[in-house]
Amino acid sequence: MAFKERTKPKLLRIYEILHKRMHLGNRDYNYYINFDKGFEGECGLDEQTEQLGPDWLVLNDLQLEFRLAPFQIDTLLISSDVIVLLETKNYEGVHQWGERKLTKQSGLALENPSMQVKKTQTRLEFLLATLGCQMKVEAFVIFINPEFTLLGAPKDEGYILPSQIPGFLRNLRKKLTKLTVEQEKLASALVNLHDPNYPCKIPEYHYDQLRKGIPCPNCGMLEGTFKGHHQTCLNCGQRMNVKRCIKASIEEFRILFPEEKMTTSRMMEWCGSGDKDRVYRVLKEEYTATGKNSGRYYH
């Protein structure tokens, strides 16, 4: 088990909900797709770093800051004598290396990720120094997608290509030095510095423009009407537990509108048309009520 597990970023969760409930413009939609793809790649690497064993501490998804300069780390591996910083990229297709950018055959250019990882490495080293840690930091860009090909890259660029990942992790597992209390203290200090609520640019949305309904747990399609204990999704045929889907819809409201009060009437409207008593029962059973009569709300 990782010392710090990876959780889905709140911003990605917001995009997922908005994608179901409104039309995303091209810019927001492309950002969402790339964001989701990147998270998928990071989770894919997590499955492999879980096999490193007790000689490594694995810290996933750190949002840190040094002298008001924020930086994010996909994966940090701590052993007794070295710290390994991993930047994961889920690119696919054939790319041509360039000092400043990677270019696809279609002509689409992406910033060379080595520029990003070097900046992150430098900020991490400065932060570690303030924590009294002088351990060596090695940084690598891992291309996780098996359909990725890179042409013309120099050997010393710090890239780990898809076919090299098993051997790279195998070499890490060969280290036989044991962790000490100092490394665990360092890992704890970094986790304590992690800011899960670091400000990010959230797309603009309003309650009135969002589609209402309960989401299918399989395909995410919104069901605008509901009845009974179970019903079948009209899109994918999945049998839905209506109570669980109502709760899922309410949780989506909480994520999108954390400052708004969850009243019975608002949640009935948010969940679509159906058995309104069922919505009330979910609120009563799953949440805490505050206030009385028309002023009652749940949290």
| Residue 10 burial (C-beta neighbours within 10 Å; 0-12, 13-18, 19+) | middle
User: Given this model, what pLDDT does residue 17 score?
Assistant: 97
For the beta carbon of residue 173, count every other beta carbon within 10 angstroms: 12
Q: Are residues 216 and 174 in the same domain?
A: no
Q: Are residues 227 and 277 in the same domain?
A: yes
Q: Are residues 49 and 95 in the same domain?
A: yes
For the beta carbon of residue 2, count every other beta carbon within 10 angstroms: 17
Query: Considering only CA atoms, which of 217, 194, 200 is closest in space to residue 31?
Result: 200
Q: Are residues 181 and 217 in the same domain?
A: no
In this structure, is residue 82 part of a structural domain?
yes
State which of 143, 163, 193 marks the end of a domain: 193
Per-residue pLDDT tens listing for the chain (299 residues): 799 999 999 999 999 999 999 999 999 999 999 999 999 999 999 999 998 988 899 999 999 999 989 999 999 999 999 999 999 999 999 999 999 999 998 999 999 999 999 999 999 999 999 999 999 999 999 999 999 999 999 988 899 999 999 999 999 988 767 899 999 999 999 999 999 887 788 889 999 999 999 999 999 999 999 988 999 999 999 999 999 999 999 999 999 999 999 999 999 999 998 878 899 999 999 999 999 888 899 99
Query: Considering only CA atoms, which of 152, 160, 57, 175 is closest in space to residue 113?
Result: 160
Give the domain extent around 219: 207-298
Tokens read off for 16: 């997922």
User: What are the E-state strand segments in the chain?
Assistant: 57-66, 69-78, 82-89, 93-96, 101-104, 109-111, 136-143, 148-151, 159-160, 214-215, 222-223, 225-226, 230-232, 239-241, 273-274, 289-290, 297-298
User: Given this model, what pLDDT does residue 182 score?
Assistant: 93
State which of 142, 169, 193 marks the end of a domain: 193
Alpha carbon 181 to chain centroid distance? Answer: 29
In this structure, is residue 3 part of a structural domain?
no
Q: How far is CA 121 from CA 5, 55, 71, in A?
A: 21, 22, 9
Q: Are residues 189 and 243 in the same domain?
A: no
Q: Are residues 76 and 187 in the same domain?
A: yes
**Any residues with CB less than 8 A from the CB of 176 and at least 6 apart, and which?**
55
Q: Are residues 26 and 174 in the same domain?
A: yes
Place of tokens 């990071």: 42
Q: How many Cα neighbours within 13 Å face the side chain of 275?
A: 14
In this structure, is residue 25 part of a structural domain?
yes
Q: Are residues 262 and 140 in the same domain?
A: no
In this structure, is residue 201 part of a structural domain?
no
Q: How many domains does the chain have?
A: 2
Helix (H) or strand (E) holding 89: strand 82-89
Strand pairing class (159-160; 214-215): unpaired
**What's the pTM value of the predicted model, to 2 decimals?**
0.91
User: Given this model, what pLDDT does residue 152 score?
Assistant: 94
On whether the CB atoms of residues 202 and 88 are closer than 8 A, the answer is: no
Helical H segments across 56-132, by residue range: 113-130
